[in-house]
Chains A and B, each alone.
Chain A
Amino acid sequence: MATTAGVGRKALSRREAPKRRSAWLRPETRTAWLFLLPSFIGFMVFYAIPAVRGIYLSFTDWDLLKQSGAWVGIDNYKAMFQDALFWNALGQTFKYVVINIGIQTVLALAIAVLMHRLTRSVVVRGILVLPWLIPNVVLALLWMWMLDPNLGVVNHWLTAVGFSEQGFLGSESQVIPTLAGINIWRHMGYTALLLFAGLVMIPQTYYEAAALDGAGEWRMFRTITLPLLRPVLALVLVVTIVGSFQIFDTVQIATGGFGGQPGGPGNASRVLYLYIFQQAFEFNALGYAAALSVALIVLLLAVAAIQLRLLRAGESDLA
Chain B
Amino acid sequence: MSSTISPTDTPPTGVAATRPAERTRAKNGIAWGRIAAWAAMILLLFVSLFPFFWMLRTALASNADLVKGSQSLAPPGATTFNLKQVLGLASEAEIAKAGTATSTEINFFVALRNSVIICTLITLGQVVFCSMAAYAFARLRFPGRDKIFFLYLTAMMIPPIFTLIPNFVLIKNLGWLNTFPGIVAPFFLMTPFAVFFLRQFFLGISREVEEAAVLDGASRWKIFRQIIIPMSAAPLTTLAVLTYITAWNEYMWPLVAGDSENVRPLTVALNAFKSATPALAPPWAPLMAGTFLAALPIIVLFVFMARRMVDAIGFSGIK
Give the CA-CA distance A227 to B162 in the complex, in Å.
36
Given A50-B170, A114-B37, are A297 and B158 neighbors across the interface (CB < 8 Å)? yes
- A window 236-286: CB within 8 A of B: 236, 239, 242, 245-246, 248-249, 252-253, 257-260, 273, 276-277, 280-281, 286
B160 at the interface (CB under 8 A from A): yes
Asked whether A137 lies within 8 Å of B18 as measured between CB atoms, the reply is no
Contact of A50 among B54, B143, B167, B282 (CB under 8 A): B167
Asked whether B136 lies within 8 Å of A246 as measured between CB atoms, the reply is no
Asked whether B170 lies within 8 Å of A197 as measured between CB atoms, the reply is no
Contact of B152 among A1, A43, A277 (CB under 8 A): A43
B204 at the interface (CB under 8 A from A): no
Residues of A within 8 A of B49 (CB): 127, 130
Q: Kindly report which residue of chain A lies nearest to residue B302, judged by CB atoms.
A: A133
Give the CA-CA distance A306 to B131 in the complex, in Å.
34
Given A5-B219, A33-B142, are A151 and B66 neighbors across the interface (CB < 8 Å)? yes
B101 at the interface (CB under 8 A from A): no
Asked whether A145 lies within 8 Å of B287 as measured between CB atoms, the reply is yes
User: What is the 8 Å Cβ interface bit string for chain B, positions 263-292, against chain A (1 contact, 0 not)?
Assistant: 000110011001101110010100110110
A side interface size, CB within 8 A? 126
Asked whether A209 lies within 8 Å of B7 as measured between CB atoms, the reply is yes
Asked whether B307 lies within 8 Å of A128 as measured between CB atoms, the reply is no
Asked whether A48 lies within 8 Å of B221 as measured between CB atoms, the reply is no
Give the CA-CA distance A294 to B271 in the complex, in Å.
28
Asked whether B155 lies within 8 Å of A214 as measured between CB atoms, the reply is no
Asked whether A40 lies within 8 Å of B163 as measured between CB atoms, the reply is no
Asked whether B189 lies within 8 Å of A48 as measured between CB atoms, the reply is no
Most chain A CB atoms below 10 A, which of B141, B155, B158, B195: B158
Asked whether A193 lies within 8 Å of B267 as measured between CB atoms, the reply is no
Give the CA-CA distance A297 to B163 in the complex, in Å.
11
Q: Kindly report which residue of chain B lies nearest to residue A316, judged by CB atoms.
A: B1
Give the CA-CA distance A142 to B221 in the complex, in Å.
48
User: What is the 8 Å Cβ interface bit string for chain B, positions 130-148, against chain A (1 contact, 0 not)?
Assistant: 1011011100111101001
Asked whether B299 lies within 8 Å of A130 as measured between CB atoms, the reply is yes
Residues of A within 8 A of B318 (CB): 194, 197-198, 201, 232
Give chain A nearest CB distance to B77 CB in angstroms: 15
B120 at the interface (CB under 8 A from A): no
Asked whether A40 lies within 8 Å of B248 as measured between CB atoms, the reply is no
Give chain A nearest CB distance to B114 CB in angstroms: 14
Asked whether A8 lies within 8 Å of B267 as measured between CB atoms, the reply is no
B166 at the interface (CB under 8 A from A): yes
Residues of B within 8 A of A47 (CB): 155, 158, 163, 192
Give chain A nearest CB distance to B16 CB in angstroms: 10
Asked whether A4 lies within 8 Å of B221 as measured between CB atoms, the reply is yes
B227 at the interface (CB under 8 A from A): no
B93 at the interface (CB under 8 A from A): no
Q: Interface segment, B82-90, B232-240, B308-316?
A: B308-316
Chain B interface category by residue count: 35 or more
Most chain B CB atoms below 10 A, which of A28, A228, A296: A28
Asked whether A135 lies within 8 Å of B266 as measured between CB atoms, the reply is yes
Given A151-B284, A242-B157, A253-B274, are A135 and B249 neighbors across the interface (CB < 8 Å)? yes
Residues of B within 8 A of A125 (CB): 306, 310
Given A47-B158, A130-B48, are A209 and B217 neighbors across the interface (CB < 8 Å)? no
A101 at the interface (CB under 8 A from B): no
Asked whether A206 lies within 8 Å of B5 as measured between CB atoms, the reply is yes
A126 at the interface (CB under 8 A from B): yes
Residues of B within 8 A of A8 (CB): 218-223
Given A5-B219, A32-B136, A286-B165, are A227 and B5 neighbors across the interface (CB < 8 Å)? yes
Asked whether B133 lies within 8 Å of A156 as measured between CB atoms, the reply is no
Asked whether A289 lies within 8 Å of B165 as measured between CB atoms, the reply is yes
Residues of B within 8 A of A280 (CB): 164-165, 168
Asked whether B251 lies within 8 Å of A273 as measured between CB atoms, the reply is no
Q: Kindly report which residue of chain A lies nearest to residue B158, judged by CB atoms.
A: A51
User: What is the 8 Å Cβ interface bit string for chain B, positions 148-190, against chain A (1 contact, 0 not)?
Assistant: 1001100101111111111111101000000000000110111
Asked whether B48 lies within 8 Å of A189 as measured between CB atoms, the reply is yes
B71 at the interface (CB under 8 A from A): yes
Asked whether B2 lies within 8 Å of A317 as measured between CB atoms, the reply is yes
Give the CA-CA distance A230 to B137 in the complex, in Å.
30
What residues of chain A have their CB less than 8 Å away from a CB belonging to chain B?
1, 4-9, 11-12, 23-24, 26, 28-29, 31-33, 35-36, 38-43, 45-51, 53-54, 57, 62, 67, 110-111, 114-115, 117-119, 122-131, 133-139, 141-143, 145-146, 148, 150-151, 153, 156, 185, 189-190, 193-194, 196-198, 200-201, 205-206, 209-214, 217, 223-224, 227-228, 232, 235-236, 239, 242, 245-246, 248-249, 252-253, 257-260, 273, 276-277, 280-281, 286, 289-290, 293-294, 296-297, 300, 304, 315, 317, 319
Can you list the 9 inter-chain pairs with the closest CB atoms, starting with the nearest?
A: A42-B189, A214-B18, A8-B219, A197-B314, A194-B317, A50-B166, A39-B133, A39-B190, A5-B219
Interface CB pairs A-B, < 8 A, 23: A8-B218, A28-B220, A35-B136, A39-B133, A43-B189, A50-B166, A51-B155, A51-B166, A57-B169, A123-B306, A134-B299, A135-B294, A137-B267, A137-B294, A138-B270, A142-B291, A145-B287, A190-B313, A205-B7, A214-B14, A232-B317, A245-B159, A273-B159
